[in-house]
């Protein structure tokens, strides 16, 4: 079994980005600049956004963190986005999800300038992704493609089973892996909460992408030998033995599935760290595109 080490791979990618940033600066180009907007006080979201900002510093990007209170109105947030959309110094920005209930998420995502949408959530960018046109691929699917690529996991003609149909992971992942691309050309089956005979399907999979948010859902008796397993799940389970009071659990019963797997991602340290590296990659791309114009 080979562990798909997202921590190490993301560190490699960040090093590559840092090198490119130094080269850009050396040639007199501007420093890439990412802004992140967060509304409210959700602990996990704050942790993620802080990690994104810290990663910017490490690779030599500039970053701006905009923290807005729980009471922020939809109009206030739209105003903030309008400012970021035209700010010449900001190459890309993200609005951390989930948003408080009183704010319409889709309306917010639609308001982001697609050229600065480094999350790749705007319908224009989702459409381009679906048509296999150059765009920002969202961080989690992009990170999974990169991980499969760097570990030379064969996808051509393989049967990939995607568990989950979310807009952020399951849906784009199933589209991307079926496309004609370097990591792609797979036969994809997408499963979700209404799928019947799920185990019959997962037992046929060469590669399983688990993105349903149910801790340790995928068990050893649901996979065949030499399967590749990508675990996107990351649930905080209360654990009084931990200093922070919780432990992170994926969608895969790691220990038992790892015994049958050819490749598998750990949780934490698998897909999670990759997403930040890919967000940085998209920001660098946004900056370089701007330089070209
Ligand atoms: N919440 C969980 N994942 C993400 C992400 O990739 N981007 C944003 N903006 N919010 C998230």
Annotated binding site: 164-166, 234
Task: Say yes or no to pLDDT of 292 above 90.
Answer: no
Task: Say yes or no to pLDDT of 116 above 90.
Answer: yes
Residue nearest to atom 6 of ligand 1 (CA): 139
The two domains 28-113 and 139-272 share their CATH topology (first three levels equal): yes
Which pLDDT tens digit goes with each residue over 230-264? 999 999 999 999 999 999 999 999 999 999 999 99
Provide the H-helix boundaries in 2-73.
6-26, 43-59
| 96 CA → ligand 1 middle, Å | 5
Which pLDDT tens digit goes with each residue over 144-154? 999 999 999 99
The CATH number for 139-272, chosen from 3.30.70.260, 3.40.366.30, 3.40.50.300, 3.40.50.720, is 3.40.50.720
Percent above pLDDT 90 for the chain: 98
Tokens found for residue 2:
């080979």
Can you give the pLDDT at residue 121?
A: 98
Residue pair 61/34 in contact (Cβ under 8 Å)? The answer is yes
DSSP per-residue codes, 162-222: EE---TTTHHHHHHHHHSSSSS---EEEEE-TT-SSHHHHHTT-SEEEE-S--TT-B-GGG
Can you give the pLDDT at residue 281?
A: 98
Domain ranges of the chain: 28-113, 139-272
Residue nearest to atom 3 of ligand 1 (CA): 97
Residue nearest to atom 11 of ligand 1 (CA): 97
**Exactly one of 5, 91, 117, 119 is catalytic; which is it?**
119
Can you give the pLDDT at residue 44?
A: 87
Q: How far apart are CA 253 and CA 54, in angstroms?
A: 31
Annotated binding site for NADP(+): 164-166, 234
Q: Is 119 a catalytic residue?
A: yes
| 136 CA → ligand 1 middle, Å | 14
Can you give the pLDDT at residue 25?
A: 96
- Supply the mean pLDDT for the chain: 97
Which pLDDT tens digit goes with each residue over 16-66? 999 999 999 999 999 999 999 999 999 989 999 999 999 999 999 999 999
Tokens found for residue 108:
């917010």
Enter the pTM of the model.
0.97
Of the candidates 20, 51, 24, the one whose C-alpha atom is nearest the C-alpha of residue 36 is 51
279 Cα nearest atom in ligand 1 = 6
Task: State mean pLDDT over 193-197.
Answer: 97
Of the candidates 41, 8, 4, 43, the one whose C-alpha atom is nearest the C-alpha of residue 246 is 43
| 205 CA → ligand 1 middle, Å | 28
Residue nearest to atom 2 of ligand 1 (CA): 97
Please state which CATH class domain 28-113 belongs to: alpha beta
């Amino acid at each position: 079994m080979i562990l798909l080490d997202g921590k190490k791979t993301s560190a490699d990618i960040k090093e590559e980005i840092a090198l490119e940033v130094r080269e850009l600066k050396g040639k007199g180009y501007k420093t890439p600049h990412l802004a992140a907007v967060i509304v409210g006080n959700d602990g996990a979201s704050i942790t993620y956004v802080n990690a994104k900002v810290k990663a910017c510093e490490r690779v030599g990007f500039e970053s701006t963190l905009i923290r807005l209170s729980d009471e922020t109105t939809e109009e206030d947030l739209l105003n903030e986005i309008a400012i970021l959309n035209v700010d010449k110094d900001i190459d890309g920005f993200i609005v951390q999800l989930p948003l408080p209930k009183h704010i319409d998420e889709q309306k917010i995502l639609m308001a982001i300038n697609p050229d600065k949408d480094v999350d790749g959530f705007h319908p224009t960018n989702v459409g381009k992704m679906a048509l296999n046109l150059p765009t920002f691929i969202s961080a989690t699917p992009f990170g999974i493609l990169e991980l499969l690529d760097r570990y030379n996991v064969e996808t051509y003609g393989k049967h990939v089973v995607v568990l989950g149909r979310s807009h952020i992971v399951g849906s784009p992942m199933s589209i991307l892996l079926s496309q004609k691309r370097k990591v792609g050309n797979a036969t994809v089956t997408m499963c979700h909460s209404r799928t019947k005979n799920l185990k019959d399907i997962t037992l046929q999979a060469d590669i399983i992408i688990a993105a349903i948010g149910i801790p340790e859902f995928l068990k050893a008796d649901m996979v065949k030998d030499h399967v590749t397993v990508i675990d996107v799940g990351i649930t905080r389970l209360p654990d009084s033995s931990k200093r922070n009071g919780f432990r992170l659990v994926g969608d895969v019963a790691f220990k038992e599935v790892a015994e049958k797997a050819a490749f598998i991602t750990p949780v934490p340290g698998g897909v999670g760290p990759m997403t930040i590296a890919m967000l940085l990659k998209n920001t660098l791309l946004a900056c370089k595109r701007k330089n070209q114009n």
